[in-house]
Amino acid sequence: MQHGKYRFIVGFLVAPLALYAIFVIWPFIQSIYYSFTDWTGLSPDFKMVGFDNYTRLLHDDIFWKSLQHSVIFVVLLPLVTLSLALFFAFMLNVGGRRRKGAAVAGVRGSGFYKIAYFFPQVLSVTIVALLFRFIYNPSGGLLNSALDAIGLGSFQPQWLGDPTWALWAVMAVLVWSTVGFFVVLFSAGMASIPKDFYEAALLDGASRITTFFKITLPLLWDTIQSGWVYMGILALGAEAFSAVNIMTVGPGGPDYSTTVLPLYVYQSAFRDANAAYATTIGVALLIVTLLFAAIVMRLGRRDRLEY
């Protein structure tokens, strides 16, 4: 019976593991291999050049700029997004005033707020980026027009055209477009926490802030940790690439002020026709992503709480 059970399990695992190896593991191996060549991506001919691409990478100022911007994204974007999402979810579920028959409740109109927060998720990142490109327009854009209307006409930067503001402008858009997803995610997690915990804490005189840090945060820790990793991967991947590629001129902003690693990979491969160097940058991006996930999982390790 045991032998038959293992054969049954292996039979189910063979197909998905084979697909994973073909479509995930093998492309990684190919990318690492091509990073040691001079392949243009347009011709089947190439030759091995050893560590020349990696030597060039270490002396590439644009690479170090893009790495710095990606690190800023991967550190600040999850921090700001998840902090806002936790605050909004807490207010929508247990942060309201006491009502008749319910000691713990969300703010009034919480159902509407959940829909409003989640609405940006309905829009693709392409539409969001185009929308905010018009909002940030220095000539008649909504943001500068609003500043002018409230008497701040003297403070009207170029936003996406100013190296000082461009990166932060793109980051603000990414926060706006992703915070709603985590509000819904954390709201679902908070809804599963027994209300008795909050009621007992409030009867003992605990404040809302105390209940958040002593009840909500510990019991949602696994969800927050997963969300941090997911948000970090978005910041290092498609979300950051799409926003920067669509919103900023170049693309990459003035003086490469918004260039991130995924965008530099794309430009090296398709603009400069240097696929080998692009795969080298991709290997660096892979290392950064793995380091980020490992650090988050290591720092976030704690005993699992059950209720």
The pLDDT of residue 304 is 60
What CATH number corresponds to the domain at position 190?
Answer: 1.10.3720.10
Return the pLDDT at 276.
Answer: 93
The domain of 149 spans: 60-299
Q: What is the mean pLDDT of each run of 10 residues along the chain (307 residues)?
A: 67 86 90 91 86 93 93 92 91 69 66 82 87 87 85 81 89 92 88 80 78 84 87 86 88 87 91 91 91 84 61
Residue 76 one-letter amino acid = L
**pLDDT of 279:** 94
For residue 54, being part of any structural domain is answered with no
Query: For the chain, how far is it from start to end, CA to CA, in angstroms?
Result: 37
| Residue 179 resides in a domain | yes
The answer to the question of residue 295 being in a domain is yes
Rounded to two decimals, the pTM is 0.85
Confidence (pLDDT) at 61: 93
Burial classification of residue 80, based on how many CB atoms lie within 10 Å of its CB (0-12 exposed, 13-18 middle, 19 or more buried): middle
pLDDT score of 96: 60
Residue 307 lies in a domain: no
In a domain, 53, yes or no: no
Using alpha carbons, list the distances in angstroms from residue 148 to 161, 269, 285: 19, 42, 41
Please tell me the predicted confidence (pLDDT) of residue 144: 84
Q: What is the pLDDT of residue 95?
A: 67
- Do the domain assignments include residue 17? no
What pLDDT does 225 receive?
87
Whether 131 is in a domain gets the answer yes
Where do the H-state alpha helices sit in the chain?
Answer: 2-20, 26-34, 52-58, 61-93, 110-122, 125-135, 142-149, 166-191, 195-203, 208-211, 217-219, 221-236, 238-247, 261-266, 275-299
Reported as a single tens digit per residue, the pLDDT across 243-291 is 999 998 888 888 889 999 999 999 999 888 899 999 999 999 999 988 9
46 domain-assigned: no
Q: Quick one: pLDDT at residue 72?
A: 92
**Amino acid present at 305:** L
Under a CB-based contact definition with an 8 Å cutoff, are residues 116 and 231 in contact? no
Domain count, the chain: 1
Given this model, what pLDDT does residue 37 score? 92
Q: What is the pLDDT of residue 70?
A: 93
